[in-house]
Amino acid sequence: MIEGSLVDSQVKVWDEEDARKIHDEKYYGKILDSGELQLSLSEALHLVERDEIEVVEEEKAFTREELFERCVSMDDEFPQKFSVYSDLRERGYIVKSGFKFGAHFRVYPRGVNPYVDGPKDNKQHTQWVVHAVQEDKTMSFQEMSRAVRLANNIRATMLWGVVDSENGVTYYEVDHVNP
């Protein structure tokens, strides 16, 4: 079993061979300059659910439920973010952080390699920018407009992953129209 350590609000896989296996074969996380793999909380819990890794802290392994509770204690939005992340991953999409685009996730189509080397024209492009929200969340038109503009600036489609009370996810595309 591959072991990851909970460090602050991330999980790190220190063994370089294990790190490469998870990153290069399954496109999870980010390889740091020092060689370890850095996983988001959603990535780590998803891998725990799939029995691909175990997450430890002070040499004690978390159960799935313990890790979920710890993630919620660190991030109030974790339940809806994890529901959307897991749903997208189970559908076969490659999901990465969307933080620098003002959303929770950026999503690549199935079957692509988001790490292709070479000129920018050869690289795979983000298809969607996704923000996870609970079904009772309210937001202003300005917030929605800002999100759509950021997504459009990188030639991606803005999706809202709306999580209902049973953790089901429905996706809504929001776009602007020029009259």
From 3-12, 97-106, 161-170, the region with the lowest mean pLDDT? 97-106
H-helix or E-strand spanning residue 128: strand 128-134
Rg of the chain in Å (alpha carbons): 17
Candidates 130, 121, 120, 124; CA nearest to 109 is 124
Distances in Å between the Cα of 69 and the Cα atoms of 74, 132, 169, 170 are: 9, 19, 20, 24
pLDDT single digits (tens) 108-129:
988 777 766 555 555 577 899 9
What's phi and psi for 121, nearest 5 deg?
-60, -25
**pLDDT, position 176:** 77
Give the pLDDT band (50/70/90) at residue 150. Answer: confident
pTM comes to 0.91
The structural domains of the chain, ordered by start, are 2-74 (3.40.1170.20), 78-174 (3.40.1350.10)
**pLDDT, position 123:** 58
Alpha helix stretches (DSSP H) within the chain = 16-26, 41-49, 64-74, 78-90, 141-153
User: Residue 93 and residue 112: Cα distance in Å, rounded?
Assistant: 9
Average pLDDT over residues 95-115: 87
**pLDDT, position 118:** 53
Alpha helix stretches (DSSP H) within 32-63 = 41-49
DSSP 68: H
